[in-house]
Amino acid sequence: MPHTRYAPDRGLTTRMVTTMFFIGLLYVVFIGVLLALFKGAWLLIVIIAGGLFVAQFWFSDRIAAFSMGAREVTPQQAPELHGAVDRLCALADMPKPRVAIADTDVPNAFATGRNQRNALVCATTGLLRRLEPEELEGVLAHELSHVAHRDVVVMTIASFLGVLAGIMTRAALWGGLSRSSRNNNVGIAVLLIPLISAVVYAISFLLTRLLSRYRELSADRAGALLTGRPSALAAALTKVTGQMARIPTRDLRKVEPFNAFFFAPALSGESVSRLFSSHPTLERRLDQLARISTQLGQAGRG
């Protein structure tokens, strides 16, 4: 990881490596099963899997921006947003990412990109309208931490592999069924492959959720330590979470697929099990920020 002034997090690094190892192992087995059952379609499987993976890795920032309706903005178009990003990048000693705005009333932000030099940080118009300058800097420091620690890359790859399982299954079935006259196992495979694909997706989903919750706590901690103002980030968290309840449900559902990448979840509640949540609870995040504030206060007096 290129050096920045963001506090390193060995726990996050360990979890990222572990997540990618198990997801990689899972997909090696998955592809092996597909190849064994559909020997005639192996070339199609490899081409689709490899092509989609490379496309997702190299164009993840553009794909995310397009999906969210985000547009890149110049310093002249968004001077306050660019100014905040400039200050934080100078403070963190990291390259400035591209800056974008998504035109939606849902108050949120996200970062994406395969590395620091190809990163993009995006804030919504709803977020910019509701937050004070210090609160906005707290949110942006949180998002830039994802870029500095490269966990956004891991989440992008891990999340995409779950979708890839379904695409590869359909490709294998299509290729295999076209050769059904020479393969007596196609009937069994038609029943077996969707089940295997569902299991692969479920395991990938759980692994990414476990990583996602920890990385949000890590970004809160790193962002608060960088700015030295954990209270501003706590205020932003409280405000965004409270305002989210006032957004129409249909608007929240439109952006729900991006929950794992957002600063705060678009949809949450007691009805959603913590096991499946993309973010830690608000109480846990505020408790961590309160402890950091106490530690910084004690260090200042010392």
Is 134 marked within a binding site? Answer: no
Within its chain, how far is the Cα of 299 from the centroid?
A: 33
Strands 70-72 and 98-102: antiparallel
Give the closest residue to 101 by CA, choosing from 134, 126, 130, 76: 126
Is 142 marked within a binding site? Answer: yes
Active site residue 256: no
Count of C-beta atoms within a 10 Å radius of residue 76: 7
**CB distance 261 to 70 below 8 Å:** no
DSSP output for 140-195:
HHHHHHHHHHTHHHHHHHHHHHHHHHHHHHHHHHHHHHTTGGG-TTHHHHHHHHHH
Is 279 marked within a binding site? Answer: no
**CB distance 173 to 36 below 8 Å:** no
Helix (H, G, I), strand (E, B) or coil at 45: helix
- Which of the residues 132, 135, 143, 283 is marked catalytic? 143
Element (H, E) at 259: none
Query: Measured between alpha carbons, how far is 231 from 103 in angstroms, rounded to an integer?
Result: 27
Q: Which two tokens stand for residue 80?
A: 């306050």
**Sequence-separated (6 or more) residues with CB below 8 Å from residue 275:** 206, 209
Burial tier of 168 (Cβ tally within 10 Å: 0-12, 13-18, 19+): buried
- Structure-derived torsion over alpha carbons of residues 243, 245, 249, 254, reported in degrees to the nearest 10: 50
Per the annotation, binding residues are 142, 146, 216
Per the annotation, binding residues for Zn(2+) are 142, 146, 216
Catalytic residue positions? 143
